[in-house]
Amino acid sequence: MTQAYLVNGVRSAIGNFGGTLSPVRADDLAAHVLKALLEKNSSLDPSVIEDVIMGCANQAGEDNRNVARMALLLAGYPVVVPGETVNRLCASGLSAAANAAHPRRPATAHA
């Protein structure tokens, strides 16, 4: 991948600590965002997506996994689409965008 594209913006609901969204898992909330992005960009073939990088701060307990990958699967994206979660606390979203913009080198085998 040589270029990163911010195709569209969709936001999840926001709540207060311990509020009405507290029982909702991060990957379930993110899956709604990913579904909405596909709906807004219906001409996009999701199988051509090379990577999805999401920011998720303060992961703990059940949320302490690859939230982006789990959200992709919950949203119905093809299993070939990889997902990466970045946790940089307040800078998670910005770091995710910066990671997407970094040039990627092809994987090489090491002996």
Higher pLDDT, 72 or 58: 72
Higher pLDDT, 4 or 28: 28
Choose from 9-13, 81-85, 102-106 the range with maximum mean pLDDT.
81-85
User: Residue 100: phi, psi to the nearest 5?
Assistant: -65, -30
Task: Place 111 in a pLDDT band, splitting at 50, 70 and 90.
Answer: very low
Window from 22-31, 66-75, 95-104 with minimum mean pLDDT: 95-104
- pLDDT given at position 12: 86
Find the mean pLDDT for residues 49-75.
Answer: 85
Instruction: Name the helix (H) or strand (E) containing 86.
Output: strand 83-86
- pLDDT given at position 110: 46
d(CA 61, CA 34) in angstroms, rounded, equals: 23
Pairing of strands 83-86, 52-55: parallel
- Sketch out the chain's domains with CATH numbers: 26-101 (3.40.47.10)
- pLDDT given at position 78: 96
Higher pLDDT, 2 or 71: 71
Q: Which two tokens mark 39?
A: 């709906």
Asked if residues 58 and 92 have their Cβ atoms less than 8 Å apart, the reply is no
Please tell me the pTM assigned to this model. 0.79
d(CA 111, CA 11) in angstroms, rounded, equals: 44
Please say if the pLDDT value at position 74 is more than 60: yes
